[in-house]
Amino acid sequence: MIKNFVVVGSGKGGVGKSTVAVNLAVALANFEKLKVGLLDADIYGPSVHKMLGIKDKPSASKNKKMLPYEKFLIKAMSIGNMIPEDKAVVWRGAMASSAIKQLLNDVEWGELDFLIIDLPPGTGDIQLSLCQTLKISGAVIVSTPQEISLLDVRKAINMFQKVNVPILGTIQNMSFIEINNKKSYLFGKDGVIQESKKQKLNFLAEIPIFHEIPISGDTGVPLTSTKNSCLDEVFKKIAKDLLKSIEKNKNLNIEINN
């Protein structure tokens, strides 16, 4: 049984959804000692397998279901290892949605406190069908502070609200880069913080630009799995605040129509 489904989305591409989803899943398992799964719902551009350093195809259980990968104290599933790296998935929306359903239903997830779902960019078929078929505890919204990102983020927030998925919190990624004790705000300053205030959304944290992040993604070792990394403090806070936000939403007794 899976107790809570949490989606990590944005609307905008390339803003750090997968980086946050992977590090959040590992942080919840490592720091909060929870049973956590991670599902890569980005069928067209999967990256979770790479970020976790998983190279093999999944194996089957006795009941002919797929066994999730187990690494860094989490369970994970991504279509990334089932298709050749240089081949594109050329499926229409309905096929992609049914592939996601298979990754949910035909994988032996076992008992999980959380299944974190890394969403693809946009507000398309995959996002909608997931939100309408699962009782989602809530969404974590990731964006850079830039207005161009926020344009798409507003659409994603609107989509989640339309399908009654509560927004658990927002994360401002790539907030600034610090060189010689001087911060540079490459993508503008505090765009996500201001948007969160305007829309009365729970702001979870800001993540600076760290050169360790792309290295960790490419080498397949999430920073939250290593001791004293640059993401330690921020993801401890995100994990704690997220749990509080989920409890608060449960107490509000929000009705979910799916």
Give the interface with ligand ATP as residue ranges (CB under 6 A).
Answer: 10, 13-19, 42, 45, 47, 121, 173-174, 207, 209-210, 213-214, 217
Whole-angstrom distance, CA of residue 258 vs CA of residue 255: 9
* Least distance from ligand ATP to the Cβ atom of residue 173, Å: 5
Could you tell me the CA-to-CA distances from 104 to 101, 163, 184 in Å, in that order? 5, 20, 41
Tell me the per-residue interface mask from 9 to 48 with Mg ion, x by CB under 5 A, - otherwise.
Answer: --------xx------------------------------
Distances (CA, A) of 213 to 16, 182, 245: 10, 20, 26
Contacted by 52, from ligand ATP, Mg ion, none: CB < 5 to 8 Å by type? none
**How far is the C-alpha of 36 from the C-alpha of 68, rounded, in Å?**
11
First to last CA, the chain: 18
Binding residue count for Mg ion, defined by CB under 5 A = 2
Q: Which does 217 bind (CB under 5 to 8 A by kind): Mg ion, ligand ATP, none?
A: ligand ATP
The reply to whether 4 sits near Mg ion by the rule CB under 5 A is: no
Output phi, psi for 57, to 5 deg. -75, 155
Give me the least distance between CB of 194 and ligand ATP, in Å please.
Answer: 19
Question: Minimum Å distance from CB 209 to ligand ATP?
Answer: 4
Task: Give the closest residue to 144 by CA, choosing from 166, 169, 121, 175.
Answer: 175
Chosen from ligand ATP, Mg ion, none, partner binding at 144 (C-beta under 5 to 8 Å by type): none
